[in-house]
Amino acid sequence: MYKDNFLIIWVVVVGLTVVMFEADAQSKAADFTLRFKNTANGNSLVLLDSTYKNTFGESYQVTKLKYYISNIHLTGKQSNYKSKEVFLLNAAGSDSATFQLKPGIYTELRFMLGVDSILNCSGAQDGALDPLNGMFWTWNSGYVYFKMEGYSTSSTADLQRIEHHIGGYRGINKADRQIELTLKEPIVIKDGDTKAIFIQVDLDKYWQGKSDIKIAENALIMFPGELAKKSADNFSGMFSIISIK
């Protein structure tokens, strides 16, 4: 019994070694990073201490900014990259999503701001989706895709709070949004490269884009529905490429 297992494992190891060499001979994947730079009023976002103004002249501070990026998709000439991996970006934590990309020339970059519907209703998850990250609603299940909290003198809420918890995976209340970024020039990945795309996430565009989000009217957005969808409609305008290095 034990001998049989040993033989099988031996064969697998030999097989894997061969496959490794084959794959190796072709190309070596590169470490590829999407690095997100949150900005407000043209400056890098500083939590808590800085005061910003939105286009409606409402001033605000941000104490918390977290969002999910997933389903990253790069379309290339030789090969495509498509992954269901979910990354949690946090202004007070990780600012990047790193993954392996095969050498080639890529012309389109797309991802989702949000979490796949199915992952919203498949039970206890771990990693980026661990409820410990504070991005899961307990009374109306589902992930908060985008969470911004802070204060504003325009807020009518208790303690002049702003709490925007944007999410929703069911039917008409879906709040995940596709973000498509225009690449001025293709991304060229060579053997063993490490490359990063710097992406601006502009809060100015969050308040005004397809919809107007005035703090005076919407200090608290806490559950899926019309308001959350209006906010989500502004997501795509917030993202743009700064540089590729």
Partner 1 sequence: MLKLKVIISFLLFAAVSLFIIAAGKKDRDDIYKTTPLEFKIPKGWPKPTVDFFKKNKLTEEGFLLGKKIFYDSRLSKDGEVSCAGCHQPFGAFATFDHDLSHGVSNSFTTRNAPALMNLAWMIDFHWDGGVNHLEIQPLGPLTAPNEMGITLDSALMILKADSAYYRMFNNAFGNPAITSQRMLKALAQFTGSLITSNSKYDRVMNGLDTFSNFEKKGYVHFKNNCASCHKEPLFTDNSFRNNGMLLNRFKDIGRQRITALSSDSLKFKVPSLRNIQLTFPYMHDGSIFSVPQVIDHYIAKTNAPQIGLDSVLRKPIVLNKLQKNELIYFLYTLTDTVFTKNKRFAPDGPVYFKH
Alpha helices (H) along the chain: 2-26, 117-120, 203-207, 226-232, 235-238
Length of the chain: 245
If the CB atoms of residues 12 and 188 are measured against partner 1, the closer one turns out to be: 12
Q: Give me the residues that bind partner 1 (CB under 8 A), please.
A: 2, 5-6, 9-10, 13-14, 17, 20-21, 24, 120-126, 130-132, 136, 138-142, 170, 173, 223-226
- Two structure tokens written together for 66: 């977290």
Q: Minimum CB separation from partner 1 for residue 135, in Å?
A: 12
Smallest CA-to-CA distance from 205 within 41, 62, 65 is with 41
- Whether residue 239 contacts residue 38, with contact meaning beta carbons closer than 8 Å, is answered with no
Angle at alpha carbon of residue 176, lines to 170 and 178, rounded to 5°: 140
Q: Minimum CB separation from partner 1 for residue 123, in Å?
A: 4
Smallest CA-to-CA distance from 69 within 102, 107, 114, 24 is with 114
If the CB atoms of residues 159 and 172 are measured against partner 1, the closer one turns out to be: 172
| Interatomic CA distance for residues 31 and 230, integer angstroms | 35
If the CB atoms of residues 113 and 119 are measured against partner 1, the closer one turns out to be: 119
Q: Minimum CB separation from partner 1 for residue 43, in Å?
A: 33
Q: Minimum CB separation from partner 1 for residue 175, in Å?
A: 13
Q: Minimum CB separation from partner 1 for residue 103, in Å?
A: 16
If the CB atoms of residues 5 and 43 are measured against partner 1, the closer one turns out to be: 5
If the CB atoms of residues 13 and 242 are measured against partner 1, the closer one turns out to be: 13
Place of tokens 């730079």: 37
